[in-house]
Amino acid sequence: MVTGSGAGVRPSWLVALVPVQMTLMVGLGIAVTSAQEGDRLTAVEGRVVRGALAFRGSTVDGLSEWFSALAGTEAVVGMTLVCVTALLTLSGGRRGREAAFLGAAVAVQSATFLVVTLCVQRPRPDVPHLDMAPPTSSFPSGHVGASVALYGGLAVLSLTRVRSAWRYAALVLLLVPAAVGLSRMYRGMHHPTDVVGGLVNGALTLIIVGSVFLSARSPGGERALHPAAQVGMGPAGRRTGSTRHRHSGLPAPKELAARAAQPLPHPTRSPKHTQTGR
């Protein structure tokens, strides 16, 4: 069972956190690339990347190619369009905020990735590559960031919008970014810190975009999810059984019809003092 959603969103000033995210990612990239040759971090990363060469083979090559393709540009854009369209059409337009969350998460992550790669110029690992090296910087991993935004975003929607126990099955989607990161290192396309940078970029994107679209309140002040029926109070504190409309707070149509069918009470005249003429 899927819960309902309202139409309100958080104030737009939260979008100002996106430049903060970009600044943090650029600073992280500069800190990583400033490590000198022979530093402990550089040495560890080199051993990890070169150690992956020992596991190369036709079977593992195929698996790594498949997981890498799951986070490729074509796959991410295509799946995002399909999911956004499904959210809007299958719900009759009631899932606008959820659709906006998913589309914005993928877009913001991609924009942040492009800005960081322009500011941080890190070469690819010095090992044989199994893929064509794109012209962007090695830091952060765009594949990993995109997989967090898309598959992590779908997991967030399932965990927060679905009430049945099946929502926990979406936790499997959180394994996709990890598999993508391992695949990208295996294929010689990224350093380990590039993968970590992609995970951080994607996670920050979900937090910021989710705070705008998924944590909003409806205009009436109630939570957009789980609208509760409001029971009115009659005279002397008695419950009237009045069920309020979940959006407007007005009585439901059936209750209005029942009230209209009730006979009106006879007016009672209050006793008046009569004055006699003198």
* 200, 249: one domain: no
Does 62 map to a domain?
Answer: yes
Q: Which domain holds residue 150?
A: 12-213
What is the token pair recorded at 240? 């009237």
Closest Cα partner for 159 from 96, 111, 214?
214
Does 18 map to a domain?
Answer: yes
Does 273 map to a domain?
Answer: no
Number of domains the chain contains = 2
How far apart are the C-alpha atoms of 205 and 207, rounded to whole Å? Answer: 5
3-state secondary structure 158-203: HHHHECCHHHHHHHHHHHHHHHHHHHHHHCCCCCHHHHHHHHHHHH
pLDDT digits (tens, 9 = 90+) for 128-162: 999 988 888 899 999 999 999 999 999 999 999 88
| Eight-state DSSP code of residue 270 | P
pLDDT digits (tens, 9 = 90+) for 30-54: 999 887 666 888 889 999 999 999 9
* 116, 144: one domain: yes
Q: Are 48 and 119 in contact (CB under 8 A)?
A: no
pLDDT score at 218:
38
Provide the whole-model pTM: 0.74
- Between 96-119 and 192-213, two packed helices, what is the crossing angle to 10 degrees? 140
* pLDDT average, residue stretch 104-120: 96
pLDDT score at 205:
97
How far apart are the C-alpha atoms of 171 and 21, rounded to whole Å? Answer: 25
* 199, 239: one domain: no
* 84, 144: one domain: yes
* 137, 251: one domain: no
* 72, 121: one domain: yes
How far apart are the C-alpha atoms of 204 and 196, rounded to whole Å? Answer: 12
pLDDT score at 36:
63
Does 199 map to a domain?
Answer: yes
* 129, 243: one domain: no
* 140, 204: one domain: yes
For position 202, which CATH number holds?
Answer: 1.20.144
pLDDT digits (tens, 9 = 90+) for 67-77: 999 999 999 99
pLDDT score at 225:
39
Backbone angles phi, psi at 275, to 5 degrees: -105, 130
* 55, 185: one domain: yes
List the beta bridge partners of residue 233: 239
Q: Helix, strand, or coil here: 71?
A: coil
* 237, 204: one domain: no
Does 220 map to a domain?
Answer: no
Which helix (H) or strand (E) segment holds residue 50: the answer is helix 40-51
* 66, 137: one domain: yes
How far apart are the C-alpha atoms of 225 and 25, rounded to whole Å? Answer: 33
CB atoms within 10 A of CB 32: 21
Does 222 map to a domain?
Answer: no
